[in-house]
Amino acid sequence: MLKTERKGNWLEMIIPVKWTGKTLEEIFRTEWKAPKKLTHSYRMEGKVLVNGDTANWNKALQPNEKLLIRLFEEEEVSGTPMFREVEILFEDDHCLVVNKPPFINTHPNNLEKDTNTLINAILYYMQAKGQLVNIHQIHRLDKDTSGAILFAKHALAGAILDRKLENREIKRTYIAMVHGILKKKKGLIQEPIGRDRHHPTRRRVSQSGQDAVTHYECIKEDMQKQVSYVKCWLETGRTHQIRVHLSYLGHPLVGDVLYGGKPSIKRQALHAAKLTFDHPITEERIICHAPFIDEQPIFKDIDIYLT
């Protein structure tokens, strides 16, 4: 875990031993894999200091030197803040993890017309704290899916987390309730997913689609209702991935009428129960569990802390 401290608009970071001899250019490009345009802006705008002086980006750094980066600045916020209660699972100066309720979009498709989304609620929450920043969404959840979702509070954290997501270093664990009793209680679904040409929003398993990998494990069965509770974790993040893959197995999600489920509940029974990632700045391992929040409980007697 790296030693850091916020000082006003600046983040102070103590150079660790493992960075001995590396230049700032190498840290931004190799360690953090920050985009060239972002790195260039920090460099040209003098937003990085070493021991209080303007940084030499090509000079080797030494342990215990103080690196200062101007990460925290007010921004012109894109979107309309709208009040709605939000459940915070984790928050610091760099990241925010929220327990998303069902029946709400994560982000607006139209900044002026769509104001009742999770992003709008977070903007209100942030402004109420005096933080005028644009939130960067790292991954997404479907409108009717609930659970943990990760956001970044500034551009550098967003860039690092985007890269971690691309490299499959952010682990997302879901709980689904599906129709039927699974014959194989644990397995791997590795089938490509593409668009369904006959439906505007539906996806399907297609050999011409994108690679998609879902791990699953049955954690509970209800023989009377003929449903199973399944833990899933993803290596990829394709649209509707869990819904498509479990339907492909012959076990569609309860409530997921788009993929063959029966409408016995008001939404597809899918909840992002756990989110695990290494912090983009401090490298601390962050583990967030998201409590079930349906007013009429869907997932009964399931312990999210065992996921």
Residue 103: is it exposed, middle or buried by C-beta count within 10 angstroms (0-12/13-18/19+)?
exposed
Task: Find the catalytic residue in 93, 114, 142, 222.
Answer: 142
Q: Does residue 162 carry a catalytic annotation?
A: no
d(CA 278, CA 10): 22
d(CA 65, CA 29): 19
Residue-wise burial string across 42-66, b where 16 or more C-beta atoms lie within 10 A, e elsewhere: beeeebbbbeeeebebeeebeeeee
d(CA 236, CA 234): 5
Compute CA 161 distance to the chain's CA centroid, rounded to the nearest angstrom. 8
Strands of 2-52, DSSP E: 4-7, 10-14, 48-50
d(CA 98, CA 54): 37
d(CA 94, CA 256): 35
- Cα angle, residue 290 at apex, residues 211 and 267 outer, rounded to 5°: 65
d(CA 192, CA 208): 7
Q: Are 146 and 102 in contact (CB under 8 A)?
A: yes
d(CA 296, CA 269): 12
Which among 30, 57, 61 is positioned nearest to 45, based on CA atoms? 57
Compute CA 293 distance to the chain's CA centroid, rounded to the nearest angstrom. 18
Active-site amino acid positions: 142
